[in-house]
Amino acid sequence: MNKKRILITIGAVILIGLIIFIIIYYKSSNSGNNIINNILNIESYEATAQITVNSNKTTNTYTVKQQYIKDGNLFKQEFLEPSNLEGLTIIYDGKDLKVESSENSLAKAYENYPYMEQNNLSLEGFVHDYQNSGENKCYEKNGEVILETKIKDGNKYASYKKLYIDKVNKKISKLEIQDVAQKAVVYILYNEIEINNL
């Protein structure tokens, strides 16, 4: 009789532990899906990022502050470093481009500017490519969720994009733009990023 009670108690403890584990696992995997849904349905973001651009002969690194607001299709990028570009701001509303410099009070506007329709350096540009590609992957590696897409109308210098999301803090860590040989030509490291808070 005592052995039966002990076995039932052990079985109940194991069952309760299993239920708790399943609930915790479901919540953590569901919150991972929530961050992906937030990214793919982005309304706004603000980020401080380090952008590294690799070409055949040089590597250039810039520190920028980016803002995007879907309402109005407004993208703004301000250069913080290097010092010779500090204060240079690019503002694009999907139609018109404005370049401003706080250092020398320079402002230049380009109406009906078609060349920035797809901004590869913005998070919104990644989302656009991911939603329109048809060739997407989502997988986990080294503690990160990676969203990968082939750019639908890409060129040989921008054919693939990979967005990395840290599984622990549920934040975007970096974005890679790769050439046709899948070599990283642009590497964006997000030092700070807030999504849908603007």
Residue with the two structure tokens 């642009």: 186
Separation between Cα atoms, residue 185 and residue 55, nearest integer Å:
7
Mean pLDDT value across residues 174-188 = 91
Q: Kindly tell me the number of DSSP H helices and DSSP E strands found in the chain.
A: 2, 11
Q: Report yes or no on 71 lying in a domain.
A: yes
Residue 61 is assigned to a structural domain of this protein:
yes
Tell me whether residue 64 is in a domain: yes
Instruction: Reply yes or no on whether the pLDDT at 96 is more than 60.
Output: yes
Mean pLDDT of 80-98: 89
Is 181 inside a domain boundary?
A: yes
* 134: CATH: 2.50.20.10
C-alpha torsion 65→195→159→167, nearest 10: 110
pLDDT tens digits, residue range 106-129? 788 888 777 665 678 889 889 989
Number of domains in the chain: 1
For residue 57, give its domain range.
35-75+118-195
Q: Is residue 187 part of a domain?
A: yes
- Is 25 a residue whose pLDDT tops 60? no
Long-range contacts for 62-66 (Cβ within 8 Å, ≥24 apart)?
66/121, 66/122, 66/123
Is the distance from CB of 90 to CB of 98 less than 8 angstroms?
yes
Cα-based distances in Å from 29 to 21, 82, 138: 12, 40, 14
pLDDT of residue 28: 47
Q: Rounded to an integer, what distance in angstroms lies between the CA atom of residue 148 and that of residue 165?
A: 11
Q: Which residue has the higher pLDDT, 179 or 107?
A: 179
Q: Once rounded to an integer, what is the mean pLDDT over residues 160-179?
A: 91
Decide which of 103 and 30 is more confident: 103
Calpha distance 82→61 (Å, rounded):
8
Q: Could you tell me if residue 111 is inside a domain?
A: no
**Lowest-confidence region among 2-6, 48-52, 113-117:** 113-117
Confidence (pLDDT) at 181: 87
pLDDT given for residue 22 in this prediction: 62
